[in-house]
Structure 1
Amino acid sequence: MIALLRQRLRRDRVQLLLWILGTAALAASAVAGVSQSYGGPQDRAALLATVMANPVILMFRGLPSGDGEAQVALFLILPFLAMLAAFMSTFLAVRHTRAEEEQGRAELVSATPAARVAPLAATIVHGAAANIVLGLIVALVYIGSGYAAAGSMISGLAVAATGLCFLGLALLAAQLMRTSRGANALTVWVLIGTYVIAGFGNALGTPSSDLTRMRSSWLTWLSPFGWAENTRPFDEDAAWPALLCLAAGVVSTAVAFAIQSVRDLGAGVVPERHGRTWAPATLSSPVGLVWRLTRGSVLGWAIGGLLTGLLATSLASVINEVGTKVPSVQKIFDALSKNGSLDQGMVVIFYIIVGVLAACAAVQTVCRARQEEAHGTAEPVLASAVDRVRWLGGYLAIGVLAVVLIVAAAIAGSAVGAARSDWSLVKDAAVAGAGQAVAACVFLVLTALIFVLIPRATIAAGWTIVLLALLISLFGPLFSLPDWLTSLSPFAQTPTVVKSGIDLKGLWWLLLAAAVGLGAALGLMRRRELHPAS
């Protein structure tokens, strides 16, 4: 097992370094952002009062635990640190288990004295070590910033425990699903679902009388992210909720070991579906083939868009209800409403998430082209009458279709939600959705350019630019980042509805970037050679 562990460490040294340093940089940015933008107690108290007035913010932040500088910093950043740890652990677990079986390398290892258990054990040790290092570095970042040592260690524990929880869940998903794509998709959907559940639990919680703390509802306790947030670093410093994450990870890992010992190599618990005897006529074209390969993931993203759009308009009644129950929150409502509609702001916030879902679907479609090329299955298609431009064009066409379907599903969900709140919000949703669709297309063509120019970097770079753009759009205004930096995110340049009409912002620049990128990707693809996996 030692040899396998050394091989994993050598193989992942660059990826893990980027994950850990990136997470540490995000943790440090919260310290700098809060000290610069909310350095005074009154500023932090006003921020938390605004948060209590708008429960939607709680769906995308943490759990308020006081107005101290360290407490506010962790409220703003802890869920995102935990999410990065969860993503790192998910991809690590699947890459060294199910993906190894797909590539045939696990069979070679099983034929040695290492047998079948050693690779799984090495992956567990590898993933656990990565999360422990990540947790320690996060703690050291906060200790080095002058925060209390106890709260800093609890912060690191919460992040590491969340990562270990999803390490176990991903190992279990790798046993259940037959492909690495299916295992990653299953774990990521669990991750997104539990993150949303924790956000709902916080949004439906009870604020304190001074509007500096929030007691989460029971719903939060159904999520690993809720467990991490309820450690309340720099307030209660409670370690026991993090133990729930560790317990969930241990149980999932034990089940994965049990399944590994009885299943056939290469098989999964979820049975493979049998294909048709005769291929449908749609598979006679590149576009039809791409749709067949990606329709399942597009459907999943569209369901996410539908639910997000539904929440964007239906939660207006929740905000009004909170304001009615808590007089101090009602005063905040009255103050905020002078500067614009809270409902419109809520739609804009939710449709940033819709844009992220659409961008993820677009990036995943282009990444599928890279996977087909790396696995050698693109070569038989290109050996036929289909040329390279037409082949890539099929993926880009389905990418655009995926974006349109996800945004349309979100707008339909908003229409359903508006039927019980305010029907005029459908217009706001349509404007925001159309703008986010253009932004998602920008990510589509950027990933396509990377695929054409640097094919081996397609998957890593494609997902990285989406993550960076999301972080800039979410944290830019909050941390008072320079306008030029915030404007780099396409999500922040989409049109919105204001009192005087529609603010187009950078719509024309987004359209120009999408058009130029599309032409460049297709033009450069004409002379590009195939780059299979080395």
Structure 2
Amino acid sequence: MDRFGVLLRQRIRRDRVQVPLWILGTALMAFAGYAGVTQSYSTLADRQNILAAALANPVILMFRGLPSGTSEGAFLAFEILPWLAMLAALMSTFLAVRHTRGDEESGRAELVWATPAGRHLPTVATIVHGLLANVVLGALTAVALLATGLPVAGSLLSGAAAASCGVAFLGIALLAAQLLRTSRGANSAAVWVLVAAFLLRGIGNAAGTPNDELTAIASAWPAWLSPFGWAEQTRPYDVDAAWPAVLGLALGLVLAAGALALQGLRDVDAGFVAERPGRSAARPALSSPHALVWRLTSGAVVGWAVGGLLTGLLATTLGGVVDQIAGENPAVTDILEKIGGATGGLDEVVVTVFFTLLGILAACCAVQTVVRARQEEARGTVELVLSTPTGRVRWLADHVIVGVGAVLIVVAAAVLGGWLGVWSRDGDTELYRIVAVAGAGQAVAAVVFVALTALVFVVLPRATIPVAWILVLLAALLGMFGPLFGLPDWTANLSPFAVTPVVDGDGVDVRGLWWLVLVVAGATAGALALMRRRELATGG
């Protein structure tokens, strides 16, 4: 018991910053979401119109929850419950991989396994740590909802539903960490499962059967194959069914037990999925340091580019859907204008909103690319590169260059998707220019995070990964949800995504473009200058 307690305390101490931020962010989203719903959809008629339009347009159900009534609580669950569950799932995924495959990859796990703790007890401690984190997340989310005055049963069930989804993905990530031999591969596999599960419950909802009043829907069977679908089937503030949440808990525990069993069947630093054999000789394209950085990150960049392409397509093909919703509830137009900042036609507003989401995707791709430098430094592999004539400033500059290139690829894919959408529906040719301007602006916003991540890497190397992701999360929350949550305009303007250029008649309103450029130039110059004197910081 003493060994287990030591291991559990060690995990809690390592995550003393990251996990509380995930938990507090989820609770704050729940609390602020209520304010957004009551301000934007204050009347029963508003909520009925939105639900009726959502039930008539399956695309909307892909990005929202399960309609279950017109009360404030039920409508709030429709708006944000899937996103609360997603935050819990992401927290659990990264926690599980960090303390299993991540520790094994760095050599830390082998040292612990050589002690009387053995091979299984550290994983058991990780499972308990993940369960406790989700319990706290669920409890604080419920408290945040209770603080708004919503009914007790629905608030408690909302927190439990989000936590149960987190536990499910805790098990999924633990299993992925056993199957794949790198933490990057395990994280990628778990996240792809997360995306597939999110889309699956959306398909199930979109294919469901609405009631006669067009205020609720009975999901089709695909929704029951997803932990997100189970969380939504609890229908908080409506029927308050607790048993679907038990499915997520059961899945997580079964997969965690399976991960423990698999761990005893493999060698240290091995995985069950065979890696693709490498070439006997490197390609000429790998003859430079920046080519190596690109080779290590190209797979992830392609994935983000596919997401960008889909975002661009949606941006210019959903005009008809949004026109219908806005005709039934003019408040929707006001909300979209607040998020996107555009004040032109509705098509322009929709493009601006979707490209704000694109900017967040591109920023995530940028951060993932630059933090690779920290991962290489922590594992000690960077020493092999720096033992060549490559200097540390050149090495960091290569990560910055590849990060900028990754952003441009993701944005270019989105612009191409947007143009294809305009062409496919014979849309207004002015949309081609609107898409290009929106894409260019969000590219600059995403490059801000390339520069800031590089600066954090130089100044606070051991905190690079959590700080970089926190910056993106804060900017996304302020830029996308700040106006909906009733925050002052100046808080939203702190987000690079909210101050990018937009089309203004025949011209372009550059808005905050120049201060974004100054941040990029200053942070990049500062990072490269300080890198000359920084020592390597290996280890976690």
TM-score (normalizing by structure 1): 0.89
Over 3 Å counting, the alpha-carbon distance change for 1:253 and 1:491 in structure 2 is: same
1:353 has 2:349 as partner: no
Deviations 1:366-394 (A, max 9, x none): 10111122222223323332222211110
1:525 has 2:531 as partner: yes
| Structure 1 SS opposite 2:306 | helix
Which residue does the alignment assign to 1:332? 328
Which residue does the alignment assign to 1:326? none
The one-letter amino acid of 2:364's match is C
1:515 has 2:511 as partner: no
Comparing 283-292 with 25-34, greater Cα deviation is found at: 25-34
1:457 deviates by 1.5
Equivalent residue in structure 2 for 1:378, among 382, 386, 391: 382
1:342 deviates by 4.2
Deviations 1:245-286 (A, max 9, x none): 224323422432332232222111111232222223333322
> How far apart in 2 are the matches of 1:270 and 1:186?
12
Deviations 1:52-111 (A, max 9, x none): 687665444333333323233333332222111111111111111111211223223333
| Structure 1 SS opposite 2:234 | coil
Alignment of 1:250-399 (within 5 A): 250-316=253-319, 331-332=327-328, 341-399=345-403
| Structure 2 SS opposite 1:264 | coil
Which residue does the alignment assign to 1:122? 125
Equivalent residue in structure 2 for 1:474, among 459, 480, 484: 480
> How far apart in 2 are the matches of 1:91 and 1:334?
40
Over 3 Å counting, the alpha-carbon distance change for 1:450 and 1:53 in structure 2 is: farther
> How far apart in 1 are the matches of 2:204 and 2:441?
30
The one-letter amino acid of 1:484's match is W
> How far apart in 1 are the matches of 2:329 and 2:142?
37
> How far apart in 1 are the matches of 2:199 and 2:13?
35
1:500 deviates by 5.6
Equivalent residue in structure 2 for 1:150, among 149, 153, 160: 153
1:214 deviates by 4.8
The one-letter amino acid of 1:258's match is A
The question of whether the paired residues in 2 share the 8 Å contact of 1:53 and 1:332 is answered with no
1:501 deviates by 5.4
The question of whether the paired residues in 2 share the 8 Å contact of 1:450 and 1:461 is answered with yes
The one-letter amino acid of 1:400's match is V
> How far apart in 2 are the matches of 1:135 and 1:349?
30
1:105 has 2:101 as partner: no
Alignment of 1:429-440 (within 5 A): 429-440=435-446
The one-letter amino acid of 1:282's match is A
1:223 deviates by 2.8
| Structure 2 SS opposite 1:13 | coil
Which residue does the alignment assign to 2:97? 94
The one-letter amino acid of 2:9's match is R
Which residue does the alignment assign to 1:172? 175
Over 3 Å counting, the alpha-carbon distance change for 1:45 and 1:483 in structure 2 is: farther
Alignment of 1:230-269 (within 5 A): 230-269=233-272
Equivalent residue in structure 1 for 2:417, among 413, 419, 426: 413
Comparing 293-302 with 513-522, greater Cα deviation is found at: 513-522
The question of whether the paired residues in 1 share the 8 Å contact of 2:46 and 2:329 is answered with no
The question of whether the paired residues in 2 share the 8 Å contact of 1:198 and 1:226 is answered with yes
The question of whether the paired residues in 2 share the 8 Å contact of 1:313 and 1:422 is answered with no
1:426 deviates by 4.0
> How far apart in 1 are the matches of 2:260 and 2:332?
54
> How far apart in 1 are the matches of 2:53 and 2:478?
21
> How far apart in 2 are the matches of 1:478 and 1:527?
44
Deviations 1:282-333 (A, max 9, x none): 333221121122112112211222232233334456668xx5xxxxx69528
TM-score (normalizing by structure 2): 0.88
1:362 deviates by 0.8
> How far apart in 2 are the matches of 1:474 and 1:60?
14
Comparing 521-530 with 57-66, greater Cα deviation is found at: 57-66
The one-letter amino acid of 1:441's match is V
Equivalent residue in structure 2 for 1:24, among 24, 27, 35: 27
Runs of 5+ unmatched residues, structure 1: 324-328
Runs of 5+ unmatched residues, structure 2: 335-342
1:63 has 2:69 as partner: no
1:403 has 2:407 as partner: yes
Equivalent residue in structure 2 for 1:485, among 472, 483, 491: 491
Question: Aligned-residue CA RMSD in angstroms?
Answer: 3.0
Comparing 141-150 with 192-201, greater Cα deviation is found at: 192-201
Comparing 214-223 with 249-258, greater Cα deviation is found at: 214-223
1:530 deviates by 2.2
The question of whether the paired residues in 1 share the 8 Å contact of 2:209 and 2:218 is answered with yes
1:225 deviates by 1.9
Give the number of aligned pairs: 527
